[in-house]
């Protein structure tokens, strides 16, 4: 009976965008990549099927298979730390009462999760999906091509940040077979950060290639993070990937249509030397200080995402 009430409480809390964090039971086999199932999620009666996109379908246990079947991939800490004995699936699905549909839940545990099990990386953790070298050509940009990417996300109410990074979206290059492409730094980043005055900020950053810069980023847009917390927002991002590329993005709060951030046709170098393509990533990738020294400033989080769609314009 006690377990029954715990499970009911978990479902109730996870259903709300701005909810507190509750850890579901471990999922056996979490994080183990399998061959995609040869199935297509059914479109809802009032919404056309997203043939070029990735939308939650309500089959929580099949979440990873769904991601792979749509040409995406994932990097999750499903076997890190205590999860080695009881694997935990870090990308799940739940029904969202605001959007009236199923969405993806991205989990991160501050005291346990790591960065892909790398023993030499002790200051950060990640839970992300992405397109990559195994994705269809339609989901990866080649030189001179443009992508229009749309998605929705909801940052939890009370989300904690530090003066270090907490990336929720990046545009990066794909390395070549020789492993010598200039892809260490993302070209575009959405990050959440605490400023020196204690205020939290949402930032859209541009970073030039490593061979052409010292890794410092330029602000393209900034907004008060409180405008985002507990709210669903929609994103439309249009990018021309070239040395003389162009970048545009509009971030809009769904509840009232307020435009929270905008970049309109910024002329930027949006290609990486030696890469085999440029691609997006989404999730939560955050720094917690060397040896988790800043972990006390952070907490377990669940970020929600929905309706990923990538369209090649040319």
The whole-number pLDDT of residue 43 equals: 39
The whole-number pLDDT of residue 48 equals: 40
CATH class, range 2-312: mainly beta
Instruction: Give the least confident one: 10-14, 133-137, 251-255.
Output: 10-14
Residue 68: phi, psi to the nearest 5?
-65, -40
**Residue pLDDT, tens place only, 130-154:** 999 999 999 999 999 999 999 999 9
The whole-number pLDDT of residue 215 equals: 73
- Give the rounded percent of residues in the chain with a pLDDT score beyond 70: 82
The whole-number pLDDT of residue 210 equals: 74
pLDDT above 60 (res 29) = no
For the chain, which residues make up each domain, given as ranges? Answer: 2-312
pLDDT above 90 (res 213) = no
pTM: 0.86
What does pLDDT average to over the chain?
A: 87
């Amino acid at each position: 009976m006690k377990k029954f009430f715990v499970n009911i409480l978990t479902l109730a809390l996870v259903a709300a965008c701005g909810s507190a964090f509750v850890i579901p039971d471990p999922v056996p086999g979490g994080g183990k990549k399998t061959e995609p199932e040869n199935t297509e999620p059914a479109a809802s009666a009032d919404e056309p099927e997203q043939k070029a996109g990735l939308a939650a379908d309500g089959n929580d246990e099949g979440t990873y298979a769904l991601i792979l079947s749509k040409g995406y991939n994932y990097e999750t800490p499903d076997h890190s730390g205590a999860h080695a004995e009881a694997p935990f699936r870090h990308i799940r699905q739940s029904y969202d009462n605001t959007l009236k549909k199923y969405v993806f839940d991205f989990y991160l545990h501050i005291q346990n999760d790591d960065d892909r099990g790398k023993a030499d990386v002790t200051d950060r953790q990640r839970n992300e999906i992405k397109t990559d070298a195994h994705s269809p050509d339609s989901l990866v940009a080649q030189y001179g091509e443009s992508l229009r990417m749309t998605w929705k996300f909801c940052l939890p109410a009370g989300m904690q940040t530090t003066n270090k990074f907490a990336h929720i979206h990046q545009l990066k290059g794909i390395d070549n077979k020789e492993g010598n492409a200039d892809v260490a730094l993302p070209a575009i980043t959405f990050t959440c950060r605490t400023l020196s005055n204690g205020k939290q900020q949402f930032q859209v950053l541009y970073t030039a290639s490593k061979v052409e810069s010292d890794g410092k980023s330029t602000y393209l847009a900034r907004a008060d993070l409180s405008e985002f917390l507990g709210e669903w927002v929609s994103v439309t991002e249009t990018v021309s990937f070239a040395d003389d590329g162009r970048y545009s993005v509009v971030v809009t709060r769904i509840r009232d249509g307020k435009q929270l951030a905008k970049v309109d046709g910024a002329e930027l170098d949006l290609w990486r030397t030696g890469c085999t393509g440029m691609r997006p990533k989404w999730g939560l990738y955050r720094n917690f200080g060397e040896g988790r020294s800043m972990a006390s400033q952070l907490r377990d989080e669940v970020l929600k995402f929905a309706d990923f769609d990538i369209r090649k314009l040319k």
